Amino acid sequence: MAALMEAKGLTRHFGGLRAVDGVDFRLQQGEIHALIGPNGAGKTTFVSLLSGRIPVQSGTITLADEDITRLPAHARVKKGIAYTFQITSVYPRLTVFDNVALAAQSAGALGLEAQVAAALAQVNLAGFGGELAGNLSYGHQRLLEVAMGLALKPRILILDEPTQGLAAGEIEGFKTLVRSLVPATTVLLIEHNMDVVMDLATQITVLNFGKVLATGAPDAIRSNPEVQNAYLGGGDDAEG
């Protein structure tokens, strides 16, 4: 089956550091695909290459068979790739509604008010439109960030450490939200919480030293000796 997004031989070095080193990757339509690995494995650099925030040095990226390797980030947003960041990136002095409206406008959305309302309802923030974003709890700010991504009507939503700092109850709500997004939206998830990964993901790719160590279903990844050695037996993974 043709991949919705595919990377071949993707490479990005910073001086002598091979942050992403010849990575091949396939993202299928409608899946929740988790990207995991130890600190410094290259995860954030890799998704920054996919989203266009960092230029590729070599290799190719295709979206539904269209070569997007050289497209800038804003052009990839318009093609349906939305990336929510590891640290909340809301505008604290604007209302919740205006935060989402800005995101929708950047994608040239029509019917702005209805689209904003739909995105807020999707993340259970329908009653918060008039609140200042900076007054929201941390958990609600993370949900607002997801709403901003959803307002772009993405084909692919990249979530970078979305449960970081969330309470246990908020994590359960987040998992329910992510499940509700597929198959209409394909989700690529960078996540250090392995309970979340194993519970949500249909496919998992493990990066280590900028290379793919393994790709497979959660059970196969959990039982893979190389993955256990490099990552699952180790400590927390906060960034990469």
Higher-pLDDT residue of 166 and 236 is 166
What domain count does the chain have? 2
CA distance 19 to 1: 29
CA distance 38 to 42: 9
Is residue 85 domain-resident?
no
Question: Does residue 149 sit in the same domain as residue 159?
Answer: no
**Assigned token pair, 58:** 């070599």
Among residues 153, 186, 206, the one where a domain terminates is 153
Is residue 141 domain-resident?
yes
Q: What average pLDDT score do residues 54-63 get?
A: 97
Higher-pLDDT residue of 181 and 235 is 181
Question: Does residue 114 sit in the same domain as residue 143?
Answer: yes
The Cβ of residue 91 has, within 10 Å, a number of other Cβ atoms equal to 15
Among residues 102, 128, 153, the one where a domain terminates is 153
CATH number for position 74:
3.40.50.300
The residues, any chain, with a CB within 8 Å of residue 47's CB and separated by 6 or more, are 35, 83, 158, 160, 188, 190
Residue 37 near residue 236 (C-beta atoms within 8 A): no
Residue 43 near residue 37 (C-beta atoms within 8 A): yes
Query: Is the full-model pTM beyond 0.95?
Result: no
Question: Does residue 101 sit in the same domain as residue 138?
Answer: yes
Q: How many residues does the chain have?
A: 240
Question: Does residue 104 sit in the same domain as residue 2?
Answer: no
Full domain range(s) for residue 3: 1-80+154-240
**Digit-coded pLDDT (tens) for 186-201:** 999 999 899 999 999 9
**Assigned token pair, 19:** 């942050």
